[in-house]
Amino acid sequence: MFLISAKHTKLRIMNNQLKKTLTIKIKRLDMFPNHFFGTAEINNEEYKINIQGQSMLRNKLIKLPIEFRDEKALLHLSGINGTFFEDIVNYKGKSEWIEIDSDGVLYYLADNQDKINTIDVLSRF
């Protein structure tokens, strides 16, 4: 319980220093055994999105098809009924797709797939 409380306090402090950099609107997200795959929009442009767990060799990460200037980002997943989840990930460069590797995001989506429709990306810039 203490670790969860400390984590949420850290996120709240970070959240006060961050601003919303971009919004990813989930259009379709299909569940597969080890990942989610679908389509999403950034600035009215449609992209493929892949969400999977992080590997033992990689930390939590995000890759985006558009420019992003910070080395870390706070992902704020939200949707119906006030449902939300937050996780901090490392930015690892450009990709043709939206790629998110995070065990926390993956497990949360497994339980709340139909409730999430937006991922806000918050950063310092």
Contacts of 36 (CB under 8 A, 6+ apart): 29, 30, 49, 50, 51, 52, 106, 109, 113
Q: What are phi and psi of 74, to 5 degrees?
A: -100, 120
Q: Global pTM?
A: 0.85
Mean pLDDT on 75-94: 95
Q: Where are the domains of the chain?
A: 2-123
pLDDT tens profile 33-77: 999 999 999 999 999 999 999 988 878 999 999 999 999 999 999
Picking from 15-19, 21-25, 39-43, 109-113, which range would have the lowest pLDDT averaged per residue? 15-19
**Which single residue is written with the structure tokens 């310092």?**
124
Q: Which pLDDT belongs to residue 16?
A: 58
